[in-house]
């Protein structure tokens, strides 16, 4: 019980710190409508969130994070630039064996910045906030950039339908790899595909359900187009692999990216954003030579980060999850904004874990 | 105290379970009237059989209210999170075989594999504005499988019976259900996706890891294990 009081006090301290940096304090409901979260995350969220039933409102979920309700509230009130902070508990069901020891409810204190005027400066502002806050604890920061990977996929010389399929699975490394191997001609076509394309797949069963004959025929036409298209060039597949396996300090990565852009000019804007961010970090006194960058960082987490991503772990406590995480989620504001959107970046810190590693 | 063994209370699963133990020297005899759920064991002193619904046996094992239990391997995986921490599989029993499979309309000639279903789910969501619905009562097993396989843009809808009819009734686009011969699926114009099923189920004798054992109980457990070992 004394522990709970200490965590609450620590959360209050962090909240005050963020308010001192100019963020407006916001609250969200603990009970969130399930449909919004299900639409965003899909069925996977059911394994992670506590679901409950309200006789009037239907299915509800105990908030699994703050970002979604904060973004929704912001987008409903317009899409003006803003800085928000909040503190409260999030709730995560722990269904799988590996997660058995993790907490089912814990505090988060967050900072969300909605502003498109200078995205590099916004990235640097949020990262620096957590960096400075956590500096006394000797944590290891890690960074990544989903924007580079997205830009590389969009830059492939191949069918738009293939790029869309890859981007859809960019957060599911295993299926992404399987698709890439197939589109690159490195894996055989799936079972039954040859017969289907030859027009030999037939069924005398009646068509039942909502999916229409036209939808089936449209897919067959798309598969024929795909079969006729040349494979993704090997040099471009290698480039994707190079980006995914990047694991160096940020300044070294900048040099590698300059080389990549020669091979794939479409990477240019994403690389320019990376460089601008690096300069903005340096301007805030954070040395890029001391910052680790991983090309695949953020790929298996929740699927709304689409740009800069970061996390802080405790090297002496490999048993603990990251103490703070964050990133850019421009696409999320568009999804929840009903026609409006605004570039946004934010992060959360866990007061309970800060107390655990405090000297 | 005695060593409690949960047995399925109905049908073929109960009959086959009784036969399986009888072949290993433990006979279960119904006591009281035909309708009374009462049974006693002969051939192993200290073993107390309890008749339970097969669907409730996982929960009773997890709670430690019974020491041993016979139920389908699918039931334990579906009803218990982290099931390996709660129960031990002592012996697969070689009956009650059934596969948990994914099935789609047989008229979907463009769908053979899970890859196809995943691609169709994306197109379906874009066209219809909601995620492709899979009707099932095996929510945990199906969700864990589809997550592991990296399938997206689907949703599970609950169906506790007549699941094969949901596609025709347009309350689902696909189903995940237990089948042994596939006959009901075919009769409802559905086909099973190629590849391994989500789970191959059979009846299994489970031990509850969390059930307290007295010295006598432990001795009975040991005697039973020796008996099972001898019958291998």
Q: What is the CATH number of the domain that holds B129?
A: 3.40.190.10
What does the pLDDT read at residue B38? 84
- C-alpha B178/C-alpha B184 separation (Å) is 10
ipTM over 0.90: no
Please name every residue paired with A31 in a beta bridge, in sequence order, or none if there are none: A62
Contact B107 A193 (CB under 8 A): no
The three-class DSSP label of residue A53 is strand
Based on the domain organization, do B55 and B108 belong to the same domain? Answer: no
Ranges of H-type helices in A138-186: 146-154, 160-168, 173-183
Domain C-terminal end among A230, A261, A294:
A230
Could you tell me the residue range of the domain that residue B120 belongs to? Answer: 98-200
Sign of the CA dihedral A82, A85, A88, A93? positive
Question: Which residue is associated with the tokens 């320019």?
Answer: A272
Sign of the CA dihedral A317, A318, A323, A327? positive
- Is A80 within 8 Å of A36 (Cβ atoms)? no
Based on the domain organization, do B133 and B193 belong to the same domain? Answer: yes
In chain A, DSSP assigns E strands to: 24-25, 31-33, 51-54, 58-62, 82-91, 105-114, 140-145, 247-249, 292-294, 308-313, 324-328, 344-349
Based on the domain organization, do B106 and B180 belong to the same domain? Answer: yes
Based on the domain organization, do A166 and A241 belong to the same domain? Answer: yes
- Is A238 within 8 Å of A126 (Cβ atoms)? no
What does the pLDDT read at residue A152? 97
- C-alpha A356/C-alpha A107 separation (Å) is 13
The three-class DSSP label of residue A358 is coil
CB pairs under 8 A between A and B: 117
* CATH assignment of the domain containing A102: 3.30.930.10
- Which of B 154-213 lie inside 8 A of A, CB atoms? 154-156, 167-168, 170, 172-173, 189, 191, 194-195
CA distance B32 to chain A (A): 42
Contact B154 A44 (CB under 8 A): no
Question: Which residue is associated with the tokens 């894996």?
Answer: A187
Based on the domain organization, do A36 and A71 belong to the same domain? Answer: yes
Task: Report how many domains make up chain A.
Answer: 3
Our measurement of the distance from residue A166's CA atom to the centroid of its chain's CA atoms, rounded to an integer in Å, reads 15
- Is A67 within 8 Å of A347 (Cβ atoms)? no
Based on the domain organization, do A99 and A237 belong to the same domain? Answer: no
- Chain B partners of A218 at a C-beta cutoff of 8 Å? 123
What does the pLDDT read at residue A121? 97
Q: Which residue, B176, B2, B171, B222, is CA-closest to B74?
A: B176
pLDDT digits over B135-180, tens only?
A: 999 999 999 999 999 999 999 999 999 999 999 999 999 999 999 8
Based on the domain organization, do B173 and B187 belong to the same domain? Answer: yes
Based on the domain organization, do A206 and A247 belong to the same domain? Answer: no
The three-class DSSP label of residue A27 is coil
Based on the domain organization, do B24 and B106 belong to the same domain? Answer: no
- Is B58 within 8 Å of B140 (Cβ atoms)? no
Name which of B122, B127, B194 is nearest A191 (Cβ-Cβ). B194
Using a 10 angstrom Cβ sphere, with 0-12 exposed, 13-18 middle and 19 or more buried, the burial of residue A46 is buried
Based on the domain organization, do A131 and A207 belong to the same domain? Answer: no
CA distance B215 to chain A (A): 31
Question: Which residue is associated with the tokens 């192993």?
Answer: B44
Based on the domain organization, do A149 and A249 belong to the same domain? Answer: yes
- C-alpha A211/C-alpha B127 separation (Å) is 9
Mutation target to probe the A interface, by most A beta carbons within 10 A, among B83, B109, B164, B168 is B109
- Which residues have a Cβ under 8 Å from the Cβ of A205 and sit 6 or more positions away? B105, B106, B107, B189, B191
Q: Which residue, B5, B23, B22, is CA-closest to B232?
A: B23
- C-alpha A177/C-alpha A296 separation (Å) is 13
CA distance B58 to chain A (A): 16
- Which residues have a Cβ under 8 Å from the Cβ of A173 and sit 6 or more positions away? A296, A299, A300
- Is B72 within 8 Å of B201 (Cβ atoms)? yes
B32 contact A CB<8A: no
Listed as ranges, residues in chain B with pLDDT below 70 are: 1
Name which of A96, A207, A219 is nearest B123 (Cβ-Cβ). A219
Using a 10 angstrom Cβ sphere, with 0-12 exposed, 13-18 middle and 19 or more buried, the burial of residue A105 is exposed
Contact A196 B139 (CB under 8 A): no
- C-alpha A327/C-alpha A88 separation (Å) is 19
Based on the domain organization, do B57 and B119 belong to the same domain? Answer: no
What does the pLDDT read at residue B52? 95
B140 contact A CB<8A: yes
- Is B215 within 8 Å of B110 (Cβ atoms)? no
Mutation target to probe the A interface, by most A beta carbons within 10 A, among B83, B85, B86, B107 is B107
Based on the domain organization, do B221 and B160 belong to the same domain? Answer: no
What does the pLDDT read at residue A46? 87
- C-alpha B175/C-alpha B159 separation (Å) is 9
- Chain A partners of B110 at a C-beta cutoff of 8 Å? 196, 201, 216, 219-220, 223
Could you tell me the residue range of the domain that residue A246 belongs to? Answer: 144-185+233-305
For every one of its 359 residues, what pLDDT tens digit does chain A have, with 9 covering 90 and above?
778 999 999 999 999 999 999 999 999 999 999 998 988 888 888 888 999 999 988 999 999 999 999 999 999 887 789 999 999 999 998 765 454 457 899 999 999 999 999 999 999 999 999 999 999 999 999 999 999 999 999 999 999 999 999 999 998 998 999 999 999 999 998 888 989 999 888 899 999 999 999 999 999 999 999 999 999 999 999 999 999 999 999 999 999 999 999 999 999 999 999 999 999 999 999 999 999 999 999 887 656 899 999 999 999 999 899 999 999 999 999 989 988 999 999 999 999 999 999 87
Instruction: Give the chain B residue nearest A205 (alpha carbons).
Output: B107
What does the pLDDT read at residue A99? 47
- C-alpha B141/C-alpha B99 separation (Å) is 12
- Which residues have a Cβ under 8 Å from the Cβ of B159 and sit 6 or more positions away? B135, B136, B137, B166, B171, B172, B175
Q: Which tokens in the block code for residue A17?
A: 């710190």
Based on the domain organization, do B28 and B109 belong to the same domain? Answer: no
What does the pLDDT read at residue A100? 45
Based on the domain organization, do A68 and A134 belong to the same domain? Answer: yes
Based on the domain organization, do B192 and B102 belong to the same domain? Answer: yes
Based on the domain organization, do B90 and B39 belong to the same domain? Answer: yes
Which helix (H) or strand (E) segment holds residue A220: the answer is: helix A213-228
Task: Report how many domains make up chain B.
Answer: 2
- C-alpha A101/C-alpha B3 separation (Å) is 31
Rg (CA), chain A: 23
pTM of the model: 0.89
Based on the domain organization, do A352 and A291 belong to the same domain? Answer: no
Domain C-terminal end among A201, A230, A259:
A230
Based on the domain organization, do B102 and B195 belong to the same domain? Answer: yes
Question: Which residue is associated with the tokens 């290993």?
Answer: B24
Question: Which residue is associated with the tokens 């991503």?
Answer: A309
Based on the domain organization, do B105 and B123 belong to the same domain? Answer: yes
DSSP A232: P
Q: Which residue, A93, A128, A125, A90, is CA-closest to A109?
A: A90
- C-alpha A143/C-alpha A147 separation (Å) is 12
């Amino acid at each position: 019980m004394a522990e709970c009081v200490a965590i609450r006090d620590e959360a209050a301290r962090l909240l005050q710190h963020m308010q001192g940096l100019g963020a407006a304090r916001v609250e969200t409901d603990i009970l969130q409508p399930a449909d919004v979260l299900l639409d965003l995350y899909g069925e996977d969220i059911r394994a992670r969130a506590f679901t409950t039933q309200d006789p009037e409102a239907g299915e509800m979920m105990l908030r699994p994070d703050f970002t979604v309700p904060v973004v929704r509230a912001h987008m409903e009130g317009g899409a003006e630039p803003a800085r928000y902070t909040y503190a409260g508990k999030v709730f995560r069901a722990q269904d799988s064996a590996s997660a058995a020891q993790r907490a089912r409810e814990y505090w988060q204190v967050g900072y969300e910045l909605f502003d498109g005027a200078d995205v590099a400066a916004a990235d640097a502002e949020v990262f620096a906030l957590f960096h400075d806050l956590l500096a006394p604890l000797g944590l290891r920061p890690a960074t990544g950039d989903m924007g580079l990977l997205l830009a590389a996929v969009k830059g492939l010389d191949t069918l738009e339908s293939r790029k869309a399929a890859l981007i859809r699975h960019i957060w599911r490394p295993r299926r992404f790899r399987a698709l890439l191997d197939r589109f690159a001609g490195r894996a055989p076509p799936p079972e039954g595909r040859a017969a289907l394309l030859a027009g030999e797949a037939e069924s005398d069963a009646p068509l039942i359900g909502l999916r229409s004959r036209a939808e089936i025929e449209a897919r067959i036409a798309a598969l024929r187009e795909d079969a006729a298209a040349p494979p993704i060039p090997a040099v471009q597949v290698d480039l994707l692999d190079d980006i995914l396996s990047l694991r160096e300090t940020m300044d070294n990565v900048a040099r590698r990216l300059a080389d990549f852009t020669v091979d794939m000019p479409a990477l240019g804007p994403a690389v320019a954003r990376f460089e601008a961010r690096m300069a903005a970090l340096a301007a805030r006194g954070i040395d890029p030579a001391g910052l680790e960058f991983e090309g695949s960082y953020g790929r298996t987490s929740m699927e709304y980060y689409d740009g800069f991503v970061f996390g802080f772990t405790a090297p002496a406590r490999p048993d603990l999850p990251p103490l703070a995480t964050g990133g850019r989620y421009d696409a999320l504001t568009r999804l929840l904004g009903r026609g409006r959107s605004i570039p946004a970046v934010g992060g959360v810190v866990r007061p309970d874990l800060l107390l655990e590693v405090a000297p | 105290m005695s060593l409690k063994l949960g047995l399925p209370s109905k049908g073929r699963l109960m009959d086959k379970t009784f036969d399986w133990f009888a072949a290993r020297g433990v006979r279960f005899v119904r006591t009281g009237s035909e309708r009374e759920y009462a049974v006693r064991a002969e051939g192993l002193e200290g073993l107390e059989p309890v008749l339970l619904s097969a669907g409730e046996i996982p929960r009773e094992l997890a709670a430690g209210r019974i020491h041993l239990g016979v139920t389908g391997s699918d039931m334990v995986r579906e009803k218990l999170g982290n099931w390996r921490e709660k129960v031990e599989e002592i012996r697969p029993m070689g009956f009650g075989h059934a596969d948990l499979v994914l099935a789609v309309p047989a008229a979907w000639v463009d769908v053979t594999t899970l890859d196809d279903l995943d691609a169709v789910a994306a197109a379906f969501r874009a066209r219809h504005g909601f995620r492709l619905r899979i009707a099932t009562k095996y929510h945990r097993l199906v969700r864990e499988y589809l997550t592991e396989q990296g399938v997206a843009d689907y949703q599970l809808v609950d169906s506790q019976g007549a699941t094969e009819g949901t596609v025709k009734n347009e309350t689902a686009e696909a189903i995940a259900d237990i089948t042994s011969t596939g006959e009901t699926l075919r009769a409802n114009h559905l086909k099973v996706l190629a590849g391994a099923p989500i789970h191959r189920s059979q009846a299994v004798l489970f031990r509850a890891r969390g059930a307290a054992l007295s010295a006598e109980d432990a001795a009975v457990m040991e005697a039973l294990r020796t008996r099972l070992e001898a019958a291998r």
